[in-house]
Amino acid sequence: MEDQELWIDRTKCDGHRLCAELFPERIELDDWGYPIIAPGSIPAGQLEHARRAVAACPVLALKLRAARPAARL
């Protein structure tokens, strides 16, 4: 299975905060209650938490997608 990462569609997000409650290891909230997602691939042991957070989003703004390769400096 390929690595996966969380992605948020900021045009859909209404700041319901459910994702951060369900997956605080990778999702924090900004000062206005909108999610800030930690960059990088989701560790295998946390994928179920990520799936739960995605499924709980009432506006379907949170997605799991194939992780993009890290940028080279």
Task: Look up the domain containing 32 and give its range.
Answer: 4-66
Q: What's the total number of domains in the chain?
A: 1
Answer yes or no: is pLDDT of 71 > 70: no
35 occurs within a structural domain? yes
14 occurs within a structural domain? yes
Answer yes or no: is pLDDT of 70 > 70: no
Helix ranges, the chain (H): 18-22, 47-56
71 occurs within a structural domain? no
73 occurs within a structural domain? no
CATH of the domain at 25: 3.30.70.20
Torsion of CA 50, 24, 56, 33, to 10 degrees: -130
Confidence of residue 68 (pLDDT cuts 50, 70, 90): confident
pLDDT per residue over 17-35, tens digit each?
999 999 999 999 999 999 9
56 occurs within a structural domain? yes
36 occurs within a structural domain? yes
Q: Which of 41-45, 55-59, 65-69 has the lowest mean pLDDT?
A: 65-69
Answer yes or no: is pLDDT of 64 > 70: yes
